[in-house]
Chain A
């Protein structure tokens, strides 16, 4: 029986050997960097030794104990959730607003130009963004120049942790809102024209059309994109946080996130086992977030759930 099944597989692979050969590089890559990395998760329960690899000494839940007892972990978890929460809420609101505004713009050339400007920041790396930020915020920067012009005192932005909530959210919006709004606009333009015609006959103005047709019909798309972000609320954008904050100790209380913490644990402190324990905690909680938020969305917008 089993042999028979195997023979069938071999026969199929021989019959289409060229196609399976085409798939080989992608399969090898996925095995190496996908499936074969899974066993390494077990090192969260070991004291990792670079010479011994996966077979390092077993320590049980010691790594988790260490990490739940340290106060730093709660700070980075809180920062990750607070910052991602702000990004999701503010980012979504701005993107919806932009999409609705785009939908009302009649002049196509103006719309195209505006969209090109707004999409540009999406293509540049966070490292470049940190340079732009530097030109704006350094003691010699444009913002302080303007503050001085109005008679104020220059602000040392790089040592003002609380200002960074606003700075990070603003940067997130500038980098992503243009991009997300284009997805929303595509979803708006696919709404049936007949609905608007019927509404006009019933005497609805533009505002009422937007409120009662566009917005409700946009909600499933909003819900899907928001779900994807909420599912990843425990995962910070490492590139963004590390490029902008670097190792600036003054800003770490508000801007140190799980991903940068794991990175430091692994690359600077050199404790892969502790880093893995934090990573495992992150994945486990993240998994529940995806399921929970999906169940919630299913109740409200059946079309807007992921699975």
Chain B
């Protein structure tokens, strides 16, 4: 047997494993308790190995007319609509900024960049949203603060710049219009950057509750994250969520189950997220 496992390697493996477990085990704890029965949590507390399994919490969530289901639909809608809109705005602007025929591209890039350094803060932003009637409606969850980010713009622009210039020249020579070049020639070539930017935006929308805290008073429009926040901070919300269950509504396991259905899509998309996110992140951190 080869002696290739030294003491220092063992130490490194242990430390790295330990930190990974600290990152992931608490999420597992939430999951195991989401399928625990209310009685088991009540008697034995939260544990990795619940004494009694029950799916009543999930039944309560997927009960027709449950507020959580409604929030879920709102979250899905704002994530889908927001990501498409954000991607379109970003891609079009990035395409124009990467185009060498556009004379003022650098001035415009500076124009976008400045807002990332000097921003006026929360209060002016809030008053502007109110002025634009982006308050207490579904658009207030989509348009303010998330629909366009200069960081993603520059990420996309740098990617398009990396494509050969001759592509544009030959397309122009063949008489293709700008819209055609942008959508039929460049768009398919930009798919890696588009995937990265869409994931950034989609994750932002899915996890967003800042807009909801700031701009919503109407509980009927709460996205999932906001409902979750309210369940914890406001006992009225919890009783509203459980009121549709007549007998002994689960509360503790219901909280955990709601958290699990909220991170569900992230878990499913995680392989893609990780791949594109790390790429985009490293590019952004080093070149940005």
**How distant is the Cα of A267 from the Cα of B148 in the complex, in angstroms?**
25
In the complex, identify which listed stretch (B65-73, B76-84, B93-101) lies at the interface while the others stay far away: B93-101
In the complex, identify which listed stretch (B119-127, B188-196, B240-248) lies at the interface while the others stay far away: B119-127
Q: Given A19-B102, A145-B45, A179-B281 in contact, is the A120-B228 Cβ separation under 8 Å?
A: no
**How distant is the Cα of A274 from the Cα of B213 in the complex, in angstroms?**
20
Number of interface residues of B (CB under 8 A): 95
Q: Which residues of B contact A12 (CB under 8 A)?
A: 103-104
Q: Mark B178-189, 1 if CB is under 8 A from A, else 0.
A: 110010000000
B99 shortest CB reach to chain A, Å:
6
**How distant is the Cα of A246 from the Cα of B232 in the complex, in angstroms?**
9
**How distant is the Cα of A293 from the Cα of B19 in the complex, in angstroms?**
31
**How distant is the Cα of A127 from the Cα of B224 in the complex, in angstroms?**
10
Q: Given A37-B128, A114-B20, A136-B46 in contact, is the A30-B115 Cβ separation under 8 Å?
A: yes
Q: Given A140-B41, A145-B47 in contact, is the A19-B112 Cβ separation under 8 Å?
A: no
A142 touches B45 (CB 8 A): yes
A18 touches B122 (CB 8 A): no
B52 shortest CB reach to chain A, Å:
15
B16 touches A102 (CB 8 A): yes
B90 touches A26 (CB 8 A): yes
Q: Which residues of A contact B97 (CB under 8 A)?
A: 23
Interface residues of A in 3-38 (CB under 8 A from B): 9, 12, 15-16, 18-20, 22-23, 25-27, 29-30, 32-38
Q: Mark B24-55, 1 if CB is under 8 A from A, else 0.
A: 10110110010000000110111110000000
B281 touches A26 (CB 8 A): no
A33 touches B125 (CB 8 A): yes
**How distant is the Cα of A283 from the Cα of B120 in the complex, in angstroms?**
8
Q: Does B17 contact A (CB under 8 A)?
A: yes
A174 touches B23 (CB 8 A): yes
B266 touches A40 (CB 8 A): no
Q: Given A102-B16, A183-B285, A242-B213 in contact, is the A135-B29 Cβ separation under 8 Å?
A: yes
- For the complex with contacts A25-B92, A25-B93, A36-B128, 18 further pairs of A-B residues with Cβ separation under 8 Å are A19-B96, A22-B96, A26-B92, A30-B115, A30-B148, A34-B115, A40-B123, A43-B123, A119-B277, A120-B23, A131-B258, A131-B259, A140-B252, A141-B46, A182-B281, A183-B281, A183-B285, A280-B121
B27 shortest CB reach to chain A, Å:
6
A282 touches B19 (CB 8 A): no
Label chain B's interface by main secondary structure: helix
**How distant is the Cα of A22 from the Cα of B48 in the complex, in angstroms?**
53
Interface residues of A in 231-279 (CB under 8 A from B): 238-239, 242-243, 246-247, 259, 262-263, 266-267, 272, 275-276, 279
Interface residues of B in 218-249 (CB under 8 A from A): 225, 228-229, 232-233
Q: Which residues of A contact B101 (CB under 8 A)?
A: 15-16, 19
A135 touches B256 (CB 8 A): yes
Residue of A nearest to B17 (CB): A114
B261 shortest CB reach to chain A, Å:
11
Residue of A nearest to B92 (CB): A22
A23 touches B92 (CB 8 A): yes
Q: Does B163 contact A (CB under 8 A)?
A: no
Q: How large is the interface on A (under 10, 10 to 19, 20 to 34, 35 or more residues)?
A: 35 or more
Residue of A nearest to B273 (CB): A123
Q: Which of B22, B27, B203, B225 has the largest count of A CB atoms less than 10 A from its CB?
A: B27
B225 touches A37 (CB 8 A): no
Q: Does B15 contact A (CB under 8 A)?
A: yes
B282 touches A123 (CB 8 A): no
Q: When A and B form their complex, which 10 residue pairs have the shortest distance between CB atoms, in order from nearest?
A: A40-B124, A34-B115, A18-B178, A26-B93, A117-B20, A37-B124, A125-B207, A22-B92, A19-B96, A279-B121
B121 touches A283 (CB 8 A): yes
Q: Which residues of B contact A263 (CB under 8 A)?
A: 122, 213-214
**How distant is the Cα of A191 from the Cα of B22 in the complex, in angstroms?**
30
Q: Given A26-B153, A134-B232 in contact, is the A104-B12 Cβ separation under 8 Å?
A: yes
Q: Which residues of B contact A113 (CB under 8 A)?
A: 20
**How distant is the Cα of A118 from the Cα of B282 in the complex, in angstroms?**
16
Q: Given A26-B153, A101-B16, A105-B12 in contact, is the A272-B127 Cβ separation under 8 Å?
A: yes
Residue of B nearest to A102 (CB): B16
A302 shortest CB reach to chain B, Å:
17
Q: Mark A103-123, 1 if CB is under 8 A from B, else 0.
A: 011100011011011111101
A22 touches B182 (CB 8 A): yes
Residue of B nearest to A39 (CB): B124
Q: Mark B263-288, 1 if CB is under 8 A from A, else 0.
A: 10010001001100110011001100
Partner of A110, one of B13, B150, B203, B282: B13
B33 touches A29 (CB 8 A): no
Q: Does A81 contact B (CB under 8 A)?
A: no
Q: Which residues of A contact B124 (CB under 8 A)?
A: 37-41, 276
**How distant is the Cα of A121 from the Cα of B258 in the complex, in angstroms?**
17
